[in-house]
Amino acid sequence: MFTQMLGFEWRYFTRQPSFIVTCLVFFILPFLLMTIEGAQVGSGNVLFNSPFSVTQIMLALGLFAMFMVVNFVGGTATRNHTSLMSEIIYTKPITPFSYNLGRFLGAYLICLTVFSMVPLGIFIGSLMPWVDGERIGPNSLMMYVRPFLTFSTTTIFVLAAILYGATNFFKNMMAGYICALGLFILYVVAGQVFNEPEQRAIRALLDPFARNTFGEYTRYWTTFEKNALLPALEGAILQNRLLWLALGSFILLTAGGLFKPLNLTSNKTNKKPKKEKIDVIPDNNNIAVKASANNGFAQFILRTKFEIKQIVLSPAFPVLLLFSAFQLIAGFLNINGAFGAPNWPLTQTLVQIIVGAFSLMTIIVITYYTAEVVWRERTVGMGDIVDSMPVRNVTFWLSKLLAVMLVIVSLHFVGLVIAIIKQLLSGYENIELGQYLISLLYFSVLPFCLLIVLAFLLQVLSPNKYVGMLIFVGYIIVSSVFGQIGIEHNMFNFAAAPIMQYSDLNGYGWFMHTQNWYMLYWTALAVILGVISYGMWQRGPQASLKQRFNLLTYQLGTQGKSIAAAALIIFVATGGYIHYNTKVLNEFYGQDEVLSAQADYEKEYVQFRDAPMPTVVSVDADIDIFPKNRRIEASAEISVINRTDQPIDRFLVNIPLHTKTYEVEISGGTLGEIDTKYNIAWFDFADPMAPGEERAGKFKVIRSHKGFKDRGEDVTLVKNGTFINNFELFPSFGFNEGYRIGDQHERRKRDLEPLQRAHKLEDTSRYSENFFGRGVEFIDFSATVSTSDDQFAIVPGYLQKEWQQDGRNYYRYEMDAPMVNFFSVMSADLEQKKVEHDGVIIEVYYHKHHHWNVDRMIESSQDSLDYFQQVFSPYQHKQLRIIEFPGYRGFAQSFANTVPYSENIGFISDLRNPEELDPVYYVTAHEVAHQWWGHQLNAANVQGSAILSETLSQYSALMVVKKKYGEIKLRKFLTHELDRYLRGRSAERIEEMPLLRSEGQQYIHYQKGSIVMMALVNKLGEERLNKALQALLNEYQFREDLYPTTLDLVRHLDNVSNEAEQAYIKDMFEQITIYDLHAKEVVKETLEDGKTKVTLTVSAQQFSADGKGQETEQPFAGEVEIALFSEDPNDFSAENKVIYQGLHAIESGDTVIELIVEEMPAFAGIDPFVRFIDRDTGNNIIKL
Amino acid sequence: MLKIADITKTYDNGVKALNNVNIEIPKGLFGLLGPNGAGKSSLMRTIATLQQPDTGSIQFDQINVLTQPNELRQRLGYLPQDFGVYPRVSAHDLLDHLAILKGIANKAQRKEAVDGLLAHTNLFQHRKKAVSGFSGGMRQRFGIAQALLGDPDLLIVDEPTAGLDPEERNRFHNLLVTLGEEKVVILSTHIVDDVSELCPNMAVLGNGQILLQGNPLDITGDLNGQIWRKTVSIDEAAELENTLPVISKRLFAGRTVLHVLASDAPEGFESTPATLEDVYFSTLHNSRQNSQPNSHSTQAA
């Protein structure tokens, strides 16, 4: 019986067309993922068919497999019921268990067969000749079999079991769909909620699809490991699989009805029949009432109400709303900014979360509901009756369309309500209902509604609803890679528009304008699609497309035809207008065009990379900003000097973006023709500049904007919150290093040599260039800036004069200290707070709704100034200004006495919970530290340059943080830094460098730098380390002839260290060393004298890694910190006390440590303060 | 009134459902008789604007049914052979819903018509119950009620009495006869008695072709004197079938009654008056005989 039933299911499904189609889909998707350029999973040096990438694809499609499983398994569970076969089947003499189990396993086997197309698709894809052979590694059978057995067989069993249970229990497919959606949301929510390093084990466990599990398992895998290692059924993966297999089996056994005797479920409900009034039966009524001819509107209202009622009253709808509410509540729980610290729930942030959370779900909802609603009459069997009614097609189409649209609107309203509740509960006072409505309805719902129109058309043209669903989902998947296959302009991606980014400073900016035009354009097309949809509406069960097409003009009538014609005119006209704006008034280049231009530029001009050019040594700028018109008219009197030992007869000038009018005047020369392909021109001296010669010159530019753009809007020049630096505003000199292609594969494709990311550390010829690049030095700076009368304008320097003229605000700034030729120009309407601290004026300019952390920024500035002046050198300015700018860019940056600070960081952190880290205090300290490291001390333009600016700023800021918040809180901070370092090296695209030679690699100069410097300060002590840094600073402060390198840093560190410490420093700076320290076991014992004896077993391992991440174990012998705590060191709310802290000699393997302490400790740990690059900090602390 | 000309329809799977069908149907009840799979429902759906034929035309009054489906639907009542209903909607609400779709805009009139039809189909006392929970017969009556909404000029009912008990069947027949005089009513069925009781005009459809058409009395009269009957055992019946043109065979009290179509009485047979059933069976018999050389079907039953 069992095998027969299994065989029956097998034969049943393999004969269904849906089986073949699904197999094809599951073959084609991974095939495309392997073969479409840009869609592939591997990045950097990770191979497309590395075991890691293969597993990733299989896991991602495992998520998608949910819909396949629910169809097959749910079909099996409900088939007897829906095909009305149950009465026949159940009267046969069969044993329920083997019958049901056979059916279930048959369906499971089918799902597995379909999914086995995935490894096949990947494999065949990897063999395709057009795929870059350099990025395909050797294939082996195990690479496909192991992940398939480990993940796919189990995931599909879990899905099959749960969905079979659900559909069987509730006797309908919808329960299966809802369950599938529930699993999906569980996966998303668990991924969002448990994001802190110490919660990741929970996240790994809770994911039925094992994607997060694999993510955790491979969290720190390096390129080498991704290419070489196969996932093993161990640790978190094993636990996760066992948990879900158990849960799946449990649900199958309880809800699957495997043992249930086979009989019919009663349709009767328990409702007591209502006592009905005995009515008088009307036997004389006139039943021969003729229909009135024109009843369209009443029919439309009736149908619309009816369709809405059908949706709203079906059990799926409230469940859907509940799910989405649940998902949002989970998403809103932690609105995390930097270092896991929460942000205030700004409306723009919540809107982003809603839109993000709904993006995929809405597609699923549209797919499902469109199919349900369009085919409702056919499905329930009323099609013939309803279709033969004298109702116009448009009535059916429009009423159904509105009903599905209502679902999407409802979802977003749930989001809106929950968001507002979240804001109220958080004590956030600025509820912006208007912004919610515009952002959600106009920017998110409207495009989805247009997609619904498309989905309707596809359903109308499809022979059945499954085909329609499949085509729609296929379209969505293909459209998501339009960018990769060369369809980049939003004009060619249905319902797309430039993606809106809101800023509290600048509001909707230019996005309202683009949205208006793109939505008009797409709505016109949607109207045409809609007219076709109702014109081709299927009436009756057998109407072929051809026959419906023959009746198209009849069905449309003049009304439909004129609507379509009008829509076509609007579509073409707006399309023309968008084209004119985005491609004629503005330039539009695809990714490939840009890369080709970059490659050509490099090939043509790299020879001039080191050609002599003048250096700007003084700037007096005159800048007029017109925020309303987004226009800047600027000029600058400059003087330039020839610092080289050769005469300069010509040099390259880079013309800034969005600048049609420009002039560069230097006496004795002229600016030649512009090469518009790269926006560069030669400046020719008739009279060459001799070495050491200084000349006067002038820049003149007008930056302005016409029409609108499809991409690449100018975020530096906006209506409120203009922030532009001198390299963006004025012409700059010399070969533009930043314009070279960075990606090694794109370079190889275009026959470019691998890019040298930085000059060699030993290249002394670069020691006279600083890291801003060639020709950037200290300058004398002054500027007159003007802006509109409602804004103020700021550049570095001190305000000398402020006046009004012609209804505009004018400011005169002059700088009295040496300043790097790197300055910001800002104009905005903001609030100001100003305090004086020991002769330095600290000012913070902020948006009126972002007032929370202004005092914290000021406090941090004060503490930083105090500490840095005490241990390093005096502050070179008398002023420090922090200015908020729109969140289009998300950084803070230090200019001379001026720190622009993005609205998305710091200003919006919610610091009310003392348990969380304080990114505001820290980031501010970091930026203040740059006034020393970066502005007082520059670095030579070689490898490791960012160590001198960023790592030293990190160190300085962390010392300030440590003084305020203490060592234990610093531990959490460093745990975050360590995690980011390890993830950073896992994502390395080319080669990891040791600290000494970091090549602009952020995870090294920020994160690894933090850990190493804090370990160093622990070893050498604050005084010695600061002395070394002070000596370095003294040697190079404000120098322009020679800049320091990391070698100089190490030299100064060595000066204050003994031999053992020097060896340690050498190791830290020159090697990539990874440790694994582990607190394995702890036993405590109360001694007779009341003291406590703690026996702690720890283990240690040391690995050295090469640049690709291949690690080899080394013997470890060193002193490691052991500590005992009275409370959990992860819990900041507790009054934690360090009961014991001391260094112990530890070697590779296990070491047992015995400690006798007065107080009873609760937690013990090895290296609790993160002095080592430990690849698993989760096992360092152990509870007694 | 309704003129069907040269209608041919072949389905995608190769089945030729309708083969050059020509009928003219006047006002009054018209019976369309045919065995399962003869193409009755295909023809009904085609007339009801739910399906387009490959060739041919259908004219109702001034309306070209195939190119002006919306105009026909204003005057059409249609009961499909089988149908389902929206879940969770009561009989009254659903009928009211369909009445609006039919175009009965006036609320009072609509209420009168809806209640009246529910009463006529004996559903009035069940009007607050969901149609999806109705028994087969009740659901069929609901189907009849909805087909009659809006006083259609063309009423197409496909196997309307399937599943009805004799009482309800009679009630329906009475209703049809009362309503039928001023309309074109097409009644498709495989039950000969329905046609002989109700219809002044009829046609027999077999294998997608019109095999016979006319007034039941006339065509029955044509066969008078040619139908012969004999009551035999089952074994004998099998033997006789091989030698004689047996058009029907039925059991009566455990023995088989054979009807044979012949101009002279075969041996041992007695004369019996022709009935519509004999006409129907002889027509089908002839049709099978004609197509036999091309097919290897089993013996006619």
A360 touches chain B (CB under 8 A): no
Both A33 and A117 in one domain: the answer is yes
Task: Provide mean pLDDT across the span A819-834.
Answer: 95
**Over the stretch A1053-1112, which tens digit does the pLDDT of each residue have?**
999 999 999 999 999 999 999 999 999 999 988 888 888 899 999 999 999 999 888 889
Q: Does A279 touch chain B (CB under 8 A)?
A: yes
With pLDDT > 70 as the criterion, what percentage of chain A qualifies?
A: 97
pLDDT band at A81 (very low <50, low <70, confident <90, very high): low
Packing angle of the helix pair A446-461, A393-425 (nearest 10 deg)? 150
Could you list the beta-strand ranges (E) of A153-231: none
- Whether A1067 is covered by a domain: the verdict is no
Q: How many residues does chain B have?
A: 301
Q: What is the pLDDT of residue A274?
A: 53
pLDDT at position B301 is 32
What pLDDT shows up at residue A1041? 87
Do A96 and A153 lie in a common domain?
yes
Q: Are residues A574 and A509 in the same domain?
A: yes
Whether B73 sits inside 8 A of A267 (CB atoms) is no
Q: Is B8 on the interface with A (CB under 8 A)?
A: no
DSSP A765: G
Three-class secondary structure of residue A392 per DSSP: coil
Give the Cα separation of A15 and A287 in Å (integer).
Answer: 50
Residues A221 and A300 in one domain: no
The C-alpha of B142 sits at a distance from chain A's nearest C-alpha, in angstroms, of 12
Q: What is the pTM of this model?
A: 0.87
Q: Are residues A222 and A358 in the same domain?
A: no
pLDDT at B299 over 70: no
Q: Among residues A588, A611, A641, which one ends one of the domains?
A: A588
State yes or no: pLDDT of B101 exceeds 80.
Answer: yes
B13 near A CB under 8 A: no
Across residues B148-158, what is the average pLDDT? 92
Is A1128 within a domain?
yes
In a domain, A602, yes or no: no
Q: Say if residue A307 is in the same domain as residue A241.
A: no
- In this prediction the ipTM stands at 0.91
A915-928 pLDDT, tens digit each: 788 999 999 999 99
What is the pLDDT confidence band of residue A329, given thresholds at 50, 70 and 90? confident
Average pLDDT, integer, range A126-148: 89
A717 pLDDT more than 80: yes
Q: What is the pLDDT of residues A851-896, one digit of tens each?
A: 999 999 999 999 999 999 999 999 999 999 999 999 999 999 999 9
pLDDT at position A265: 54
Residue A235 has pLDDT above 70, yes or no: yes
Q: Do B124 and A381 touch (CB under 8 A)?
A: no
The confidence band for B240, taking pLDDT boundaries of 50, 70 and 90, is confident
Residue A71 to chain B, least CA–CA distance (Å): 22
Half-sphere exposure of A28 (CA within 13 A, CB side): 10
Average pLDDT over residues B166-193: 88
Contacts A276 to B, Cβ<8 Å: 125, 128
- Our measurement of the distance from residue B55's CA atom to the centroid of its chain's CA atoms, rounded to an integer in Å, reads 23
**pLDDT(B186) > 90:** yes
pLDDT above 80 (res A27): yes
A541 touches chain B (CB under 8 A): yes
The answer to whether A298 contacts chain B (CB < 8 Å) is yes
Where does a domain end: A560, A588, A616?
A588
Cβ distance B85 to A288 less than 8 Å, yes or no, reads no
pLDDT in the model for residue B297: 38
**Residue A72 maps to a domain:** yes
More confident residue, A134 or A271: A134
Rounded Cα gap, residues A845 and A85, in angstroms: 74
Name the amino acid, one letter, at A239.
Q
Partner-chain contact A289 B101, CB within 8 Å: no
Does residue A734 lie within any of the structural domains? no
Residue labelled with tokens 């499909």: B80
Per residue in A525-583, pLDDT (tens digit) is 999 999 999 999 999 887 888 889 989 999 998 999 999 999 999 999 999 999 999 99
Q: In the predicted model, what is the mean pLDDT of residues A1164-1172?
A: 89
Beta-bridge partners for A662: A701
CA distance A241 to A149: 11
Inter-chain touch B45–A267, beta carbons under 8 Å: no
Whether the per-residue pLDDT at A991 is higher than 60: the answer is: yes
Q: How far is CA A397 from the centre of its chain?
A: 38
Residue A934 tokens read as 């970066």
| Structural domain span for residue A406 | 296-588
Nearest CB partner across the interface for B80, out of A282, A285, A384:
A384
CA A220 to chain CA centroid, Å, is: 19
Q: Does B73 touch chain A (CB under 8 A)?
A: yes
Instruction: Give the residue ranges of DSSP H helices in A501-644.
Output: 511-535, 545-550, 552-579, 591-605
Residue A474 structure tokens: 């296929």
Which residue in A288, A303, A381 is closest to B83 by CB distance?
Answer: A381
Please report the pLDDT score of residue A82 as a whole number. 65
Q: List chain A residues with CB under 8 Å of B106.
A: 289, 292
CB-based contact B69 A281, cutoff 8 Å: no
- A550 occurs within a structural domain: yes
Report how many domains make up chain A. Answer: 3
Report residue B254: phi and psi, to 5°.
85, -5
| Chain B residue nearest residue A391, CA to CA | B101
The arithmetic mean of pLDDT across residues B66-81, rounded, is 92
Q: What is the DSSP letter of A231?
A: P
CB proximity B102 to A under 8 Å: yes
User: Which residues of chain A lie closer than 8 angstroms to B78, CB-CB?
Assistant: 384-385, 388
Is A1165 strand, coil or helix? strand
Q: Which of A223, A255, A287 is the last residue of a domain?
A: A255
pLDDT at A1139 over 90: no
Nearest CA in chain B to A553: B67
- A window 512-531, beta carbon within 8 A of B: none
pLDDT beyond 80 at A427: yes
Contact A289 B49 (CB under 8 A): no
| Contact state of B112 with A295 under an 8 Å Cβ cutoff | no
Partner A, chain B 48-67, Cβ-Cβ below 8 Å? 48-52, 67
pLDDT band at A267; cut points 50, 70, 90: very low
Residue to mutate among A284, A289, A545, A556, with most B CBs inside 10 A, is A289
- Position A264 confidence tier, pLDDT thresholds 50, 70, 90: low
Contact list in B for residue A291 (CB cut-off 8 A) is 74, 102-104, 150-151
User: In this complex, is the C-beta atom of A551 within 8 Å of any C-beta atom belonging to chain B?
Assistant: yes
Torsion of CA A1004, A1009, A1015, A1019, to 10 degrees: 120
B119 touches chain A (CB under 8 A): yes
Q: Could you give the angle at which helices A952-986 and A854-871 cross, rounded to 10 degrees?
A: 110
Looking at the structure, tell me whether residues A451 and A393 fall in a common domain. yes
Q: Which of A60-69, A1049-1058, B84-93 has the lowest mean pLDDT?
A: A60-69
> CB B113 to CB A540 under 8 A?
no
As given in the structure block, the two tokens for residue A450 are 């247009």
- Beta-sheet strands, E only, within A991-1137: 1073-1086, 1092-1105, 1111-1114, 1117-1125
Q: What is the mean pLDDT of chain A?
A: 90
Q: Which domains does chain B have, with CATH numbers?
A: 2-213 (3.40.50.300), 221-294 (no CATH)
Confidence of residue A261 (pLDDT cuts 50, 70, 90): low
pLDDT band at residue B298 under the 50/70/90 scheme: very low
Q: Between A282, A295, A539, which is nearest B50 by CB?
A: A539
Judged by CB atoms closer than 8 Å, whether chains meet at A276 and B125 is answered as: yes
Domain presence at residue A638 = no
B116 touching A (Cβ < 8 Å): yes
Q: Kindly state whether residues A325 and A416 are assigned to the same domain.
A: yes
CB contact under 8 A, B146 and A302: no
Confidence at A269, pLDDT banded by 50, 70, 90: very low
Q: Domain check: are A127 and A219 in the same one?
A: yes
The pLDDT tens digits of the residues spanning A443-488 come to 999 999 999 999 999 999 998 888 898 889 889 888 888 887 888 9
Q: What is the pLDDT of residue A101?
A: 86
Q: What is the pLDDT of residues A1010-1028, one digit of tens each?
A: 999 999 999 999 999 999 9
Residue of B51, B97, B105 lying closest to A542 (CB–CB): B51
**CB-based contact, B98 to chain A, within 8 Å:** yes
User: What pLDDT, on the 0 to 100 scale, is given for residue B196?
Assistant: 87
- Note whether A384 contacts B68, CB cutoff 8 Å: no
Instruction: Indicate whether A304 belongs to any domain.
Output: yes
Q: Is the pLDDT of residue B293 over 80?
A: no
